[in-house]
Amino acid sequence: MQKSLCALALIASSSLEANNAGVNITGIIQPVACTPNLSTSNLLNDGIIKAKILKKNDHTPISAKAIDFSIRCDGLTLVVIKAINNCIGSLVDAKRKATGAAHTHSCSISSEIQPWGDGTHYILLGLGLEENNAKIGGYAIRFNLTSTSADGNAVDYIASLDSGKTWTITNSAGLFDPLAPKLFTITKKGKTKPLAFKIFSGEIEAISFINKKTELDLTRPTITDSSITLELVYF
């Protein structure tokens, strides 16, 4: 993987006369540039959430939303997507996910929720902490596998858990995995080799939840706050 830039600087001078003049010639050689675009950067703006709608002993789903996501490159480019969780410690580890034991990670609530009802468990990222360190809630986020194209052609998502050494077609489009950092890119239908493209378009979906009412201090306003970063990595 490469994300480096090469800088070139030359100085031309003359010593034929006593008076010298220096000319600096500079430039930057960079890989083909790709620009990610989101239809909005505020995916889950739930506004004011009334405490009375929260469930006492269960998580309360608040909203399900989707935004358009695209990547435009100057030329055909092999580029992969890496999601970075900006709420430190909010990912649930593999052991706790398998055993269903209590989760102690800052900001997280549970990984046993199937937010889209498709039988798939998704990593929930946190919505922040109250002043007493109670976990406010979480959200699941994924790519929509059915609304993806590259240069006008339908494509499949592929994912890698070993820094791009191997790729597999993914049936679970959650942006995060409990075992390792997850990379996404696209391929031709039915293939597993990363595909270079100029224009990629897709959709990102998210569902938010608020923690059990019994876990929260509802005597004062609570502000949810979380974010992720989508990083483009050039191959």
Taking only the tens place, the pLDDT of each residue in 81-92 is 988 877 764 433
Averaged pLDDT for residues 3-17:
33
pTM: 0.73
Q: For residue 20, is pLDDT > 70?
A: no
The pLDDT assigned to 46 comes to: 63
Q: For residue 49, is pLDDT > 50?
A: yes
Averaged pLDDT for residues 196-221:
86
Q: Which residue in the block uniquely carries the two structure tokens 């597999």?
A: 168
Higher pLDDT, 37 or 200: 200
Averaged pLDDT for residues 105-116:
56
Rg (CA), the chain: 23
State how far Cα 102 lies from the chain centre.
25
From residue 99, how far is each of 86, 92, 102, 103, 113 by CA, in Å?
26, 12, 9, 10, 14
Q: For residue 45, is pLDDT > 70?
A: no
Q: For residue 103, is pLDDT > 70?
A: no
Task: List the Cα angle 43/38/127 in 5-degree steps.
Answer: 25
Q: For residue 44, is pLDDT > 80?
A: no
From CA 88, how far away is CA 104, in angstroms rounded? 13
Q: For residue 25, is pLDDT > 60?
A: no
The pLDDT assigned to 88 comes to: 60
Averaged pLDDT for residues 160-180:
86
Token pair recorded at residue 75: 């030329």
Averaged pLDDT for residues 158-179:
87
Q: For residue 198, is pLDDT > 80?
A: yes
Higher pLDDT, 151 or 114: 151
Residue 16 φ/ψ, nearest 5 degrees? -70, -35
> What does pLDDT average to over the chain?
73
